[in-house]
Structure 1
Amino acid sequence: MTLAARLAIPGRLDVEVDAEPGDVIALVGPNGAGKSSFVHALAGLQHAEGSALLGGRDLLALAPQEREVGVVFQDQRLFPHLSALDNVAFGPRSRGEPKHSARAAARTWLERLGVAELADRKPAQLSGGQAQRVAIARALVTDPDLLLLDEPFTGLDVGVAATLRIELGKHLADFRGITLLVTHDALDALTLATTVVVLDSGRVAQVGTPAEVAAQPLTEHVARLVGLNVLRDGDRLRAFSPAAVTVSRHAPADSARNRWHGVVRGAAPHGDAIRLQVTGERDLIADVTPAASRELALVPGQEVWLSVKETAVTTYDARADAASD
């Protein structure tokens, strides 16, 4: 069952997405790019113009409850008065399935997601990770043709999110439908998705496999997500790793083209390094050793010079159509 969605919200969104069974499409982009608006329109929670053909049926012509769509939100949106079991059973029951079989299917999915022992608990008695597992079970129990995941790991503890990401990945690998995943996390896109669609200002800026998009990001937002610096030079983009950046307190003695003056705005551990956020002539990120950070007193507010060797810079075409050639 294929998806051919052409959705528009005047002044906000004009996006086309095509998908095949088994595809996991990650929608990435800055806040306000249209990611959530797109999936909410598919779910029937947001009005949009155009069409969304799922297996030949236009979802936009159907009421939300008539669409074969499962939805998981970042805030779970579980029914507070129902137990975890009955939250999951709600979908089959609303489709006319008998209570006994609906609850049996719900229990099976709770077991698959590792929370069967919590079946009798109300949402208020669940942790964030437990509630999100219940929400995912509720979305999958009806065997939807389209699964919409709107930032499902946001707000969860890092360890909980990592475990849930692995569990979800296992289920998506066997999922026969199509999945659209809205995320701000490069790890989600790189580990769960088969295709990445980059949205910017309500339009598609780039489409490719996770590896292709990570190697040659066409927007600064995605470049930051995957940990690269990207500079636009006409119709060309120039990318380089934060590890390739040299940081000093004074202007480099040579006349190298790739040097910029700026101010440290943030510094945080990143693996074995300290990652600096620097604003100025260019907004850049640079990785330095903890020893260098102490020696140079690289604290917020400190003026610095950044430089990078030309041999460390990769140059490629800035056009989205060229990246997919």
Structure 2
Amino acid sequence: MSAPGLHADVTVPGRLVARVDAAPGRVVAVIGPNGAGKSTLLGALAGTVAATGRVEVAGRDWSDLPVRERRLGVVFQDRSLLPHLRARDDVAFGLRARGVPRREADRRALAWLDRLGVGDLADRRPAQLSGGQAQRVAIARALAGEPELLLLDEPFAGLDVGVATGLRIELARHLAAYGGVALLVTHDALDALTLADEVLVLDEGRVVQTGSPRDVAAHPRTEHVARLVGLNVVREGDELRSFAPSAVTVSPRGTVGGTGHDAPATSARHRWAGRVAAVAPHGDAVRLLVATGSDGEPGPELIADVTPAAAVELGLQAGAEVWLSVKATAVQTDSMRP
């Protein structure tokens, strides 16, 4: 007998080769750069993208099941609400398609709209809803059918920060009580860290890392993940060296002998010459974006956090030439691929 949860091993020729295993009640964040195969993976699991291999959900083989027969809930980036339906009818639509009587489907729909805090908007159509309200309706629709697999494709995309924060908290509460498997595609590290139990990293159509959010953030194996969690990244061969912006020491570049390349007196092992490209507040610090490189050879773009007092004292403004240095003890080294 197949184990409950999600067990998938799928291939979309030229686009994706991926294996996903998740126990019931688990939330898996799927992250990776644009074009990595995230949406393709969701489509392969849903049955909307042709794939070879096997998909098992809740002990049942979904590989040859039509999409309409899969106990599936989907939340899209653009909400995809039906423009002519009221919110309650949209949420009830899937239930009625499965044979649930109209009165019962309406009751369940209203209950889910109430849970998501938009029960008073049940008679509104999509054009009468804000982005955040429409996404709450979309989440209610996805959960109302008690899906065995829940797919969330960038559910907070396009929402204001405050609206996204409130919706993230609300969704976390519902996911904690959800008994199926949820896959969450996101470009936001906060989503992975606060909503997910596990992280699956895709790059160029392949799974390159899996693990808990904490482990993946602490030991990123791709540049995308390192940047996603706010680290600087430098590639050296097959290794990825990462370090925090707070570990970077910034020194102004003077002019010795007219060269403008005098290195600071420091024991730091890692050092780059660069020019400040942007300056912005970042919490209690000032964050610098520095374009490094020398003699016409571009280097990595790095970020450094300094105190406001240091920024003023050192004249750290856009265009300023600086040295960046990091001690070896502050650098994490990981293999680029497993």
Q: Is the TM value for this pair above 0.5? A: yes
Equivalent residue number for residue 285 of structure 1: 303
CA distance in 1, matches of 2:127, 2:317: 42
Give matches, 1:8-47, under 5 Å.
8-47=11-50
Question: What residue identity is the alignment partner of 2:223?
Answer: E
1:81 to partner: Cα distance: 0.3
Give matches, 1:57-206, under 5 Å.
57-206=60-209
The percent identity for this pair of structures is 64
CA distance in 2, matches of 1:239, 1:185: 19
Contact 1:78 1:123 in 2 (8 A): yes
**Residue-by-residue CA offset, 1:77-136 (whole Å, 9 max, x unaligned):** 000100011110011011111110000000000010010000000011011110000000
Deviates more, 1:298-307 or 1:26-35: 298-307
Contact 1:262 1:282 in 2 (8 A): no
1:150 to partner: Cα distance: 0.2
Partner SS state of residue 61, structure 1: coil
CA distance in 2, matches of 1:10, 1:264: 43
Question: What residue identity is the alignment partner of 2:196?
Answer: A
Contact 2:252 2:321 in 1 (8 A): yes
Question: What residue identity is the alignment partner of 1:186?
Answer: A
CA distance in 2, matches of 1:311, 1:238: 12
The one of 236, 241, 264 aligned to 2:244: 241
Deviates more, 1:13-22 or 1:58-67: 58-67
Question: What residue identity is the alignment partner of 2:189?
Answer: A
**Max Rg structure:** 2
Deviates more, 1:56-65 or 1:220-229: 56-65
C-alpha change, 1:116 and 1:99, in structure 2 (3 Å) is same
Work out whether 1:314 is the aligned partner of 2:332: yes
Which runs of structure 1 show a deviation greater than 6 angstroms over 4 or more consecutive aligned residues?
Answer: none
Which runs of 5 or more structure 2 residues have no equivalent in the other structure? Answer: 254-262, 293-298
CA distance in 2, matches of 1:295, 1:32: 43
CA distance in 2, matches of 1:277, 1:7: 40
TM-score in terms of structure 2 length: 0.89
CA distance in 2, matches of 1:171, 1:6: 28
CA distance in 2, matches of 1:320, 1:172: 31
The one of 217, 228, 241 aligned to 2:220: 217
1:63 to partner: Cα distance: 1.6
TM-score in terms of structure 1 length: 0.93
CA distance in 2, matches of 1:2, 1:196: 16
Equivalent residue number for residue 265 of structure 2: 253
1:235 to partner: Cα distance: 5.2
Which runs of 5 or more structure 1 residues have no equivalent in the other structure? Answer: none
Deviates more, 1:293-302 or 1:50-59: 293-302
C-alpha change, 1:125 and 1:133, in structure 2 (3 Å) is same
C-alpha change, 1:52 and 1:266, in structure 2 (3 Å) is farther
1:283 to partner: Cα distance: 2.5
CA distance in 2, matches of 1:36, 1:77: 15
1:217 to partner: Cα distance: 1.0
Equivalent residue number for residue 305 of structure 1: 323
Partner SS state of residue 238, structure 1: strand
Question: What residue identity is the alignment partner of 1:305?
Answer: W
